[in-house]
Structure 1
Amino acid sequence: MSDSTVTTPPPAPAATPAAAPPPSRWRTTFNEIIGGSVMISILAVVLAMVAGGILIAVTDENVQAASAYFFARPGDTFAEIWKAVSGAYVALFQGAVINPNRPDFVQQIKPITETLTFATPLIAAGLGVGLAFRVGMFNIGGRGQMLIAAACAGWVGFTLHLPWGLHMLLAVVAGVVGGGIWGGIAGLLKARTGAHEVIVTIMLNYVAFYLVSFLLRTPVLQAPGSNNPKSPPIDETAVFFDLLGPQFNLHFGFILVIAATVFVWWLLNRSSLGFKFRAVGINPNAARVAGIDVKNMYVYAMLISGGLVGLAGVSQVLGTVTTGFSSGIDAGIGFDAITVALLGRSKPWGIFIAGILFGAFKAGGFAMQASQGIPIDIVLVVQSLIVLFIAAPPLIRTVFRLPDPSKPKKPKAPKRPVPATTGEAVAAK
Structure 2
Amino acid sequence: MSKMPKWADTILIPLFSILLAFFFSGLVIFAIGKDPFNAIMVMIDGAFGSTGGLGYTLYYATNFIFTGLSVAVAYHAGLFNIGSEGQAMLGGLGVALVCLFIPFGHWTIALPVAVIGAALFGGLWALIPAYLQAKRGSHIVITTIMFNFIASALIGYLLTRVLKVPGAMSSETARFPESTHLPTFHEMLAPLGIMFNKNAPANLAFVVALVACVFFWWLIWRTRLGYQIRAYGQSESAAKYAGISPSRIIIITMMISGALAGLMAINNVMGEAERLIDNAVEGAGFIGIAVALMGRNHPVGIILASILFGFLYQGGAELALWEGIPRELVVVIQALVILFTGALDNMVRMPLERLFVALKRKEG
TM-score normalised by the chain length of structure 1: 0.77
Q: Which amino acid aligns with 1:328?
A: N
The match for 1:293 among 245, 249, 262 is 245
Q: Which amino acid aligns with 1:386?
A: V
> Does structure 1 conserve the Cα–Cα contact (< 8 Å) formed by 2:98 and 2:113?
yes
Deviation string for 1:265-304 (max 9, x for gaps)?
1111111111111101111111111111121000010000
Summarize the alignment of residues 355-394 of structure 1 with structure 2, pairs less than 5 Å apart.
Answer: 355-390=306-341, 391-394=343-346
The percent of aligned pairs where both chains have the same amino acid is 31
Residue 55 of structure 1 corresponds to 28
CA distance in 1, matches of 2:363, 2:216: 47
Say whether 1:45 aligns with 2:18. yes
Deviation string for 1:279-336 (max 9, x for gaps)?
01111111111111121000010000000000112321001111x3322111111111
Say whether 1:403 aligns with 2:339. no
Q: Which amino acid aligns with 1:402?
A: L
Residue 185 of structure 2 corresponds to 243
CA distance in 1, matches of 2:140, 2:129: 6
Return 388-397 or 112-121, whichever deviates more. Answer: 388-397
Say whether 1:318 aligns with 2:270. yes
> Does structure 2 conserve the Cα–Cα contact (< 8 Å) formed by 1:152 and 1:178?
yes
> Does structure 2 conserve the Cα–Cα contact (< 8 Å) formed by 1:34 and 1:403?
no
Change (3 A) 1:397 1:268: closer
Residue 94 of structure 2 corresponds to 152
**1:202 to partner: Cα distance:** 1.0
User: Helix, strand or coil: the match of 1:377?
Assistant: helix
The match for 1:196 among 139, 163, 176 is 139
Gaps of 5+ in 2: 188-197
Change (3 A) 1:30 1:190: closer
Change (3 A) 1:321 1:358: same
Q: Which amino acid aligns with 2:24?
A: A
Summarize the alignment of residues 158-177 of structure 1 with structure 2, pairs less than 5 Å apart.
Answer: 158-164=100-106, 165-177=108-120
Residue 128 of structure 1 corresponds to 70
CA distance in 1, matches of 2:87, 2:355: 38
Change (3 A) 1:369 1:237: same
Change (3 A) 1:413 1:358: closer
User: Helix, strand or coil: the match of 1:354?
Assistant: helix
> Does structure 1 conserve the Cα–Cα contact (< 8 Å) formed by 2:4 and 2:357?
no
Say whether 1:336 aligns with 2:279. no
Change (3 A) 1:319 1:410: closer
**1:340 to partner: Cα distance:** 0.8
Residue 80 of structure 1 corresponds to none
CA distance in 2, matches of 1:412, 1:405: 11
CA distance in 1, matches of 2:52, 2:250: 42
Say whether 1:252 aligns with 2:211. no
Deviation string for 1:134-177 (max 9, x for gaps)?
11111111121111111121122122222112223222211111
Q: Which amino acid aligns with 1:240?
A: L
Return 227-236 or 291-300, whichever deviates more. Answer: 227-236
TM-score normalised by the chain length of structure 2: 0.90
Change (3 A) 1:303 1:325: same
The match for 2:148 among 200, 205, 213 is 205
CA distance in 1, matches of 2:235, 2:294: 23
Q: Which amino acid aligns with 1:59?
A: I
CA distance in 1, matches of 2:183, 2:54: 18
Deviation string for 1:233-265 (max 9, x for gaps)?
111122221133234322010000000000001
Change (3 A) 1:413 1:239: closer
Change (3 A) 1:316 1:247: closer
CA distance in 1, matches of 2:265, 2:214: 19
User: Helix, strand or coil: the match of 1:241?
Assistant: coil
Gaps of 5+ in 1: 1-28, 64-83, 99-107, 415-429
Say whether 1:234 aligns with 2:176. yes
> Does structure 1 conserve the Cα–Cα contact (< 8 Å) formed by 2:3 and 2:353?
no
Q: Which amino acid aligns with 1:149?
A: G
The match for 1:119 among 61, 65, 72 is 61
> Does structure 1 conserve the Cα–Cα contact (< 8 Å) formed by 2:87 and 2:126?
yes
Change (3 A) 1:306 1:373: same
